[in-house]
Amino acid sequence: MMKKALILAALTALTITGAAYADTTTAQTGTCKCPQCKCKHCECQKPSDEKIQAARENFKKKQTEFEQRLKLSEKQKEQAKQIRLKGQEEMKPVMEQMKLKHQEAETVKLSKIAPKMQEEKLQKINAELRELRHKAREIRANNMKEFESILSKKQLKELDKMKKEGRQRFDKGFKKHVEKDGKPQPIGPFGPRPGMIQPPLNVEE
Mean pLDDT split into 10-residue runs, the chain, 205 residues = 48 46 39 50 67 89 92 95 94 96 94 92 96 96 95 95 90 71 46 33 38
Name the maximum alpha-carbon separation found in the chain. Answer: 60
pLDDT for res 15: 46
pLDDT for res 16: 43
pLDDT for res 131: 97
Q: How far is CA 102 from CA 97, 99, 105, in A?
A: 9, 5, 5
Residue 44 and residue 31: Cα distance in Å, rounded? 6
Comparing C-alpha atoms, which of 95, 203, 88, 94 is closest to residue 143? 88
Residue type, 170: F
Answer yes or no: are the C-beta atoms of 169 and 27 closer than 8 Å.
no
Residue 135 and residue 89: Cα distance in Å, rounded? 14
DSSP state of 27: -
pLDDT for res 42: 53
pLDDT for res 34: 52
pLDDT for res 125: 96
pLDDT for res 49: 85
Phi, psi angle pair for 74, to nearest 5°: -60, -35
Distance of CA 199 to the CA centre of its chain: 10
Residue type, 29: T
